């Protein structure tokens, strides 16, 4: 086993988003793999971003998360990096920076707890592309999922309980909780992708920890699939 050189890199990744309205066409082109976006759809999406301040808040939020992780780690042992899949800072370029920094071993973590070949695996492909592009030889340990991690379940349980607290105590037993997530094409699930199973495992565990009765909660997807 090769000796580990410190610091170990920690590459934290998220989806990415435009930093201003002018970046939206390029952002959509990357998401759609170059396929054109109709003017009507572009106008609708631009208006949506305009209503939340003219940019995606994702980069700022993710920077705060990465800084919080780094603050919990020994800087002599670990160095955190932030990479985005569909916009700057691009994962491939961040991997290049890790190579330039002399990182030889690293951990990758996508800020999406449930594994899918259409999501987490795509981020890992970007890492491989970056290593090829910058002639790197970083040994990555990929965290594929953490959908049953105790702190994650605790955080979700707390949010459910906060939501239930909006109703008077005598009414909470009648409140129905709906867990929801973005869907995948059915054909992907039928190929054995674990995404749906992992989501339902998370929902079941959170419902149990929140004290919900089996008939008091249900599962749904936010989009067709």
Give the domain CATH number at 92.
Answer: 3.40.50.1400
pLDDT over 80 (residue 101): yes
pLDDT over 90 (residue 223): no
Question: What's the pLDDT band for 2 if we cut at 50, 70, 90?
Answer: low
Residue-wise pLDDT for 3-22, tens only, equals 788 999 999 999 999 999 99
Q: Are residues 139 and 163 in the same domain?
A: no
* 119, 195 contact by CB (below 8 A): yes
Choose the final residue of a domain: 75, 108, 143: 143
Question: What's the pLDDT band for 225 if we cut at 50, 70, 90?
Answer: very low
pLDDT of residue 4: 81
pLDDT of residue 224: 59
Q: Are residues 127 and 156 in the same domain?
A: no
* 114, 147 contact by CB (below 8 A): yes
Q: Which two tokens stand for residue 187?
A: 């054909």
Q: Are residues 64 and 137 in the same domain?
A: yes
- The domain of 196 spans 150-221
* 198, 116 contact by CB (below 8 A): no
Residue-wise pLDDT for 135-149, tens only, equals 999 999 999 999 999
Q: Find the mean pLDDT for residues 22-32.
A: 97
Q: Find the mean pLDDT for residues 54-80.
A: 98
Q: Are residues 194 and 93 in the same domain?
A: no
Residues 6+ positions from 99 with CB-CB distance below 8 Å: 131, 134, 135, 136, 138
Choose the final residue of a domain: 143, 173, 204: 143
What is the residue-averaged pLDDT of the chain?
A: 96
Total domains in the chain come to 2
Q: Find the mean pLDDT for residues 156-171.
A: 97
Choose the final residue of a domain: 143, 167, 202: 143
pLDDT of residue 159: 98
Beta bridge partners of 141: 107
């Amino acid at each position: 086993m090769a000796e580990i050189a410190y610091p170990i890199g920690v590459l934290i990744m998220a989806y990415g988003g435009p930093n201003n309205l002018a970046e939206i066409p390029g952002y959509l082109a990357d998401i759609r793999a170059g396929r054109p976006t109709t003017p009507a759809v572009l106008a609708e999406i631009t208006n949506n971003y305009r209503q939340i301040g003219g940019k995606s808040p994702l980069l700022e939020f993710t920077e705060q998360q990465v800084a919080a992780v780094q603050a919990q780690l020994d800087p002599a042992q670990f160095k955190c990096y932030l990479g985005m899949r569909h916009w700057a800072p691009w994962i491939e370029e961040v991997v290049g920076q890790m190579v330039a920094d002399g990182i030889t071993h690293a951990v990758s973590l996508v800020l999406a707890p449930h594994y899918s070949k259409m999501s987490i695996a795509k981020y890992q492909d970007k890492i491989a592309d970056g290593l090829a592009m910058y002639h790197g030889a970083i040994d990555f340990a990929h965290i594929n999922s953490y959908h049953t991690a105790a702190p994650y379940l605790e955080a979700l349980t707390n949010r459910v309980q906060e939501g239930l607290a909006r109703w008077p105590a005598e009414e909470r037993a009648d409140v129905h909780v709906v867990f929801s997530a973005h869907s995948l094409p059915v054909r992907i699930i039928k190929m054995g992708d674990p995404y749906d199973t992992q989501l339902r495992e998370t929902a079941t565990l959170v419902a149990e920890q929140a004290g919900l009765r089996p008939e008091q909660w249900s599962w749904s997807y936010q989009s067709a699939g």
